[in-house]
Amino acid sequence: MAGQGVEAFFSGGRLTSVPRKPARREQLLAHLTETLFVSGRDYTEREVNDTIRAVHEDCSALRRYLVEGGFLSRTKDGSSYRRVSA
């Protein structure tokens, strides 16, 4: 997969696999963040899950990767998520 873009992980608009290599996973997470989440908007956990579920069934794992990778942050009170500015 070296040299291929994130489109290699999609088929029919659905994410078919999450890369194991950290650099490729980070590239995918950046792509998902840019295409799925709007800057400056707060999302409830349900909205985040529904948004992710539109491209992949394991929304909890991808949500966790997005938060751990610094692409989404939880608000101080933990009630919502927000896209982290690049």
The pLDDT of residue 78: 87
The confidence score (pLDDT) of residue 45 equals 95
Chunked mean pLDDT (size 10), the chain, 86 residues: 77 94 95 95 96 96 96 93 88
Q: Return the exposure string of 30-46: e unless at least 16 CB atoms fall within 10 Å of the residue's CB, then b.
A: ebbbeebbeeeeebeee
Region 6-83: CATH code: 1.10.10
